[in-house]
Each structure stands twice: as C-alpha cells, then as structure tokens.
Amino acid sequence: MRQTLFYFLLCSLITVSCTADKEDLIGRYSYHSNQLTDSLILKDDLYIHKIFNKDSLMYEGSGNWNLDANRITLMKFYNNENDPIEEPLSNEAAEKFLMRVSCPVYKKGKEIIIEINADEGIEYKKEAEKK
C-alpha cells in the first residue's frame, strides 16, 4: 500500500512540475522561421499576435485565451501555414484565416513552450522578462 501511494505521489509531482499555470504563462513568446518572426503576448485574458518579416509588421491581431489543464485555447488566432505572408495583411484579408486553436503548453526545464504545430516544429518559447 505504501509503495503504491509513493508511486502515485511521485507521478503527481512530475505531472504538476511539467504543467504551467495561468500566471506562469503571462508574458511574451516568440517563434522564428527563416523569413518571419511571430510574437505572441499573453496578458490576463487577452493575447496579441504579431507577425514580422525582416523589415516590417505583416499582421497584428488579438483575441481571448484560456488555459484548461495543459492546453491553451486561442480564439481568433491567425493560422495560415500553407500560404506564407508576402505583404502586410489587413484585418479583412486575415479574417478567413482566424480560428480557434487549442495547443499543448508545457515546461521544459525552466522554459515554457506553446506547441502550435508539432509536425512543423512551430513552438512559441517564452522570452525572459526584461528588468
């Protein structure tokens, strides 16, 4: 009985230590590809998503987000992996690519990662807070 309880507590501790809570998530995240940089800023219940090329802002949008266990849900998130942005997008042009996205979020060591697309290796990593 004690051994079973010990393993249960150990597994629970490992699970909890790998899961980020909502306060931990608040901050700035980024993803860098060859041509673009994605920036995701999480505030209390609002996120801001910006996509930059080397020279300028290509897209900016925002929406609500929530955390349920180890998944973050982003409402009205711009997601168009199949058609790269070649010129700045208006809100009207981006509208057809806005969707509800639910993604795993986890801690890897001290790093917090939001995994937007595991197959493509698209992970937003939390940036260190500037002091």
The pTM (predicted TM-score) of the whole model is 0.80
What gap in Å lies between CA 48 and CA 63, rounded to an integer?
Answer: 7
Rounded (to 5) percent helix, strand, coil in the chain: 20, 45, 30
Q: What is the pLDDT along the chain (131 residues), one digit of tens a residue?
A: 555 544 444 444 444 445 678 888 999 999 998 888 999 999 999 999 999 998 899 999 999 999 998 999 999 999 887 777 888 998 898 998 999 999 999 998 889 999 998 888 899 999 987 65
Residue 122, strand partner residues: 117
What is the amino acid identity at position 111? E
Q: How many CA within 13 A on the CB side of residue 103?
A: 22
> Domain 2-126 adopts which CATH fold?
Lipocalin (2.40.128)
Residue 30 zone, left/alpha/beta (φ > 0; ψ -120 to 50; rest): beta
Q: What is the pLDDT of residue 9?
A: 43
What gap in Å lies between CA 83 and CA 71, rounded to an integer?
Answer: 26
Q: What is the pLDDT of residue 2?
A: 57
Q: What is the pLDDT of residue 82?
A: 73
